[in-house]
């Protein structure tokens, strides 16, 4: 079990708050839509801090401007992958940004075993550190 605050993975912009309700998720979707950002749903069972490419639950929804329809997609992903990490990501295509503007976790496994730190002692007093996710000791799709 993780020993940090909340005993949980704290990636994303709201992981220090209690799990978001559907109503709260909708409000954040509305906020992104009001900024003209496109929303995407992504999931993974490999939560390493440098695992950039979570699987996409479909392409970002560039043409969907209805928060309730987007929430339906979020919930469909949760239903399909109830024990994965799922995040909602907002993409901004404005010049000077052209990147992610929001990212927050909306689903997580029941048990989060966390990460180990592998230390490789090399020359002098230097140590090379590798962060290792305990969950990835198991094969893809069988991790949580």
Partner 1 sequence: MSDKDSQITDGKKRYSAGVLRYKQMGYWDPDYQPKETDLIAMFRMTPQEGVDSEECAAAVAGESSTATWTVVWTDRLTACDLYRAKAYRVDAVPNTGPGTKTEQQYFAYIAYDIDLFEGGSIANLTASIIGNVFGFKAVKALRLEDMRIPVAYLKTFQGPATGVVVERERLDKFGRPLLGATTKPKLGLSGRNYGRVVYEGLKGGLDFMKDDENINSQPFMHWRDRFLYCMEAVNKASAATGEVKGHYLNVTAGTMEEMYARAEFAKSLGSVIIMIDLVIGYTAIQSMALWARKNDMILHLHRAGNSTYSRQKNHGMNFRVICKWMRMAGVDHIHAGTVVGKLEGDPMMIRGFYDTLLDTHTPMQLEKGLFFEQDWASLNKVMPVASGGIHAGQMHQLLTYLGDDVVLQFGGGTIGHPMGIQAGATANRVALEAMVLARNEGRDIWNEGPQILQDAAKWCSPLKAAIDTWGDISFNYESTDTADFAVTPTASN
Q: Which residues bind partner 1 (CB under 8 A)?
A: 2-5, 9-11, 13-18, 24, 27-28, 31, 47-50, 52, 89-90, 95-104, 114-117, 125-129, 131-133
Q: What is the signed CA dihedral for 69, 75, 76, 81, rounded to 10 degrees?
A: 150
Q: Which is nearer to partner 1, 79 or 125 (CB)?
A: 125
**Size of the chain in residues:** 144
Residue 49: CB minimum distance to partner 1, A: 5
For residue 63, the minimal CB distance to partner 1 (Å) is 22
What is the chain's percent helix, strand, coil content, to nearest 5?
25, 30, 50
Least gap, CB of 97 to partner 1 (angstroms): 6
Cα first-last separation, the chain: 13
């Amino acid at each position: 079990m993780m020993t940090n605050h909340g005993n949980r993975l704290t990636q994303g912009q709201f992981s220090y708050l209690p799990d978001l309700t559907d109503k709260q998720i909708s409000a954040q979707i509305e906020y992104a839509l009001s900024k003209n950002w496109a929303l995407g749903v992504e999931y993974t069972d490999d939560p390493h801090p440098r695992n950039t490419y979570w699987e996409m639950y479909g392409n970002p929804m560039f043409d969907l401007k209805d928060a309730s329809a987007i929430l339906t997609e979020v919930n469909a992903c949760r239903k399909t992958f109830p024990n994965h990490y799922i995040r909602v990501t907002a993409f901004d295509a404005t010049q000077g940004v052209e990147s992610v503007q929001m990212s927050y976790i909306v689903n997580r496994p029941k048990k989060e075993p966390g990460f180990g730190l592998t230390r490789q002692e090399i020359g002098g007093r230097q140590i090379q550190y590798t962060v290792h996710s305990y969950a990835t000791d198991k094969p893809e799709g069988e991790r949580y």
